[in-house]
C-alpha cells in the first residue's frame, strides 16, 4: 500500500510547484498594484460611506392602474 502513496505524493508535489511557478508573477503583480492603490487612495471619509438616502425605494413608485396583481 505504501508504494501507492509515492506516485501520488510526487504528482501532488509537482502540481503544487507548477502552480506556484506559473502564478507567482501574477501574485507579485497583484500585490504591487494593491500596495500602489493603498498609497494613492485618499483617507476614508465615514460620512461619504453612508448609504444615499435619496435613492428611491419600492414604496416611492406608483403602481400601474392597469395592473391586475396586487
Question: Where do the structural domains in the chain lie, given as residue ranges?
Answer: 1-39
* 14, pLDDT greater than 90: yes
Residue with cell 414604496: 59
CB atoms near residue 9 (< 10 Å): 10
SS3 call for 9: helix
pLDDT band (50, 70, 90) for residue 52:
low
Tell me the three state secondary structure of residue 10.
Answer: helix
Whole-prediction pTM: 0.45
- What pLDDT, on the 0 to 100 scale, is given for residue 30? 94
- CA pair distance 31, 38, nearest whole angstrom: 11
Closest CA to 24 of 36, 32, 34: 32
Which residue in this structure is represented by grid cell 506556484? 20
Amino acid at each position: 500500500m505504501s508504494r501507492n502513496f509515492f506516485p501520488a505524493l510526487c504528482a501532488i508535489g509537482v502540481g503544487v510547484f507548477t502552480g506556484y511557478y506559473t502564478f507567482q508573477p501574477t501574485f507579485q503583480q497583484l500585490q504591487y498594484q494593491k500596495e500602489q492603490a493603498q498609497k494613492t487612495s485618499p483617507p476614508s471619509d465615514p460620512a461619504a460611506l453612508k448609504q444615499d438616502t435619496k435613492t428611491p425605494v419600492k414604496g416611492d413608485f406608483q403602481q400601474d392602474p392597469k395592473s391586475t396583481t396586487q
